[in-house]
Amino acid sequence: MDISFLIVTKDRTADLKVTLDKLYKIIDLSSHEVLVLIDGCVETEALVAAYPWVQWTVLKESVSASPARAILYPKAKGEILIGLDDDAHPLTTNFIERVKHYFKTNPNLGIIAFQEVRGLFNTDQDALQQVKIGEDYLTTDFIGCGFAIKKSVYNAINGFPKWMTIYGEEPAVALEVLDLDYDILYSYGLQVNHRVNVIKRKQQGRNYFRFEHQLRNSLRFYLVYHPKPLKKIVRLLWHNFKKYALSDVGYFKSYTLVCFKTLFSLGAILKYRKPVKKSTLVKQEELQSINYN
């Protein structure tokens, strides 16, 4: 098996259907596979019978994004694992062959971060008009809506962390890959259309759910991976207190809740503690980060 496409989905049945229809047009089932995990969504289970060529994993209760990926990814048989959001699909012509070419010509490459073309478009050709041109570069991170990782590299790390929820699991995987001295490459030449309503998202304003989970996972990230996490944690808490908690009652409640939960679960979190090399943190600071805005 050459390629495994992996998708975790929850409450986006229509989006997932579009993605699966798009993938079916570019795959060869003799050498490619598509695996989908339904994270506690009864409505989406109706698609199982309609897409028998998909390998389905159905969870009756939601476990959140990162634990769901931790369940799904070990099931893949492909030499290259391609992660997509349920509302994202490849745009690039000869997408699969080009992904394989990147890994073949770059033996030290662990992860490819795809260019995200964000928005709702009438056709893929319209989406391609928004593609940015540039020179590929080594980076520190990727986002889950579109990336590829070698299975051998994924198997060599701890995988997606079960101790995280959503918003932050990709940096954990990226840091472990860098710590094994593999490269992460941002590719302008490989694009996915992330079909989000950009205008609606900007109008949504405060997002307490995202804030709470990002703060929670960031605290856990430092506790698990950093050799000396205290200074990072103090800066993180002070920044979020000034910028968010002092500005809004909802943020203040989320901030306080996360702090107390982290304190009382400290013992459980520290069981996963595995600090990365200091040289990895230096390399991370020197590498260019991705600007997805």
Residue 68 has pLDDT above 70, yes or no: yes
Residue 1 has pLDDT above 90, yes or no: no
- Local structure of residue 283 (DSSP, 8 states): H
Residue 180 has pLDDT above 80, yes or no: yes
Name the pLDDT band for 290 (thresholds 50, 70, 90).
confident
Nearest C-alpha neighbor of 91 from the set 129, 55, 44, 52: 129
Q: List, for residues 239-259, the tens digit of each pLDDT value.
A: 999 999 999 999 999 999 999
Strands (E), the chain: 3-9, 32-39, 55-59, 80-85, 88-90, 109-118, 137-138, 146-150, 183-194
Supply the pLDDT for residue 205: 59
- Between 205 and 173, the more confident residue is 173
Residue with tokens 């209760």: 61
The three-state DSSP-derived secondary structure of 160-203 is CCCCCCCCCHHHHHHHHHHHCCCEEEEEEEEEEEECCCHHHHHH
Between CA 231 and CA 228, with CA 156 as vertex, the angle to 5 degrees is: 10
Q: List, for residues 81-131, the tens digit of each pLDDT value.
A: 999 999 999 999 999 999 999 999 999 999 999 999 999 999 999 999 999
Name the pLDDT band for 202 (thresholds 50, 70, 90).
low
Supply the pLDDT for residue 198: 72
Q: Which two tokens stand for residue 262?
A: 């982290």
Residue with tokens 């207190």: 241
Supply the pLDDT for residue 197: 81
Q: Which two tokens stand for residue 112?
A: 């490819």
Class of domain 3-199: alpha beta
Say which range, 159-168, 199-208, 217-226, has the weakest mean pLDDT: 199-208
Instruction: Write the single-letter amino acid at 111.
Output: I
Supply the pLDDT for residue 204: 59
Residue 199 has pLDDT above 90, yes or no: no
Between CA 231 and CA 234, with CA 232 as vertex, the angle to 5 degrees is: 65
In this prediction the pTM is 0.94
Give me the chain's average pLDDT, please: 95
Supply the pLDDT for residue 208: 92
Percent of the chain with pLDDT over 90: 92
Domain positions in the chain: 3-199, 206-276
Name the pLDDT band for 293 (thresholds 50, 70, 90).
low
Q: 9 - beta bridge partners?
A: 38
Residues 217 and 221: their CA atoms lie apart, in Å, by 6
Say which range, 15-29, 78-92, 253-267, 279-293, has the weakest mean pLDDT: 279-293
Supply the pLDDT for residue 291: 76
Residue 203 has pLDDT above 70, yes or no: no
Residue 260 has pLDDT above 90, yes or no: yes
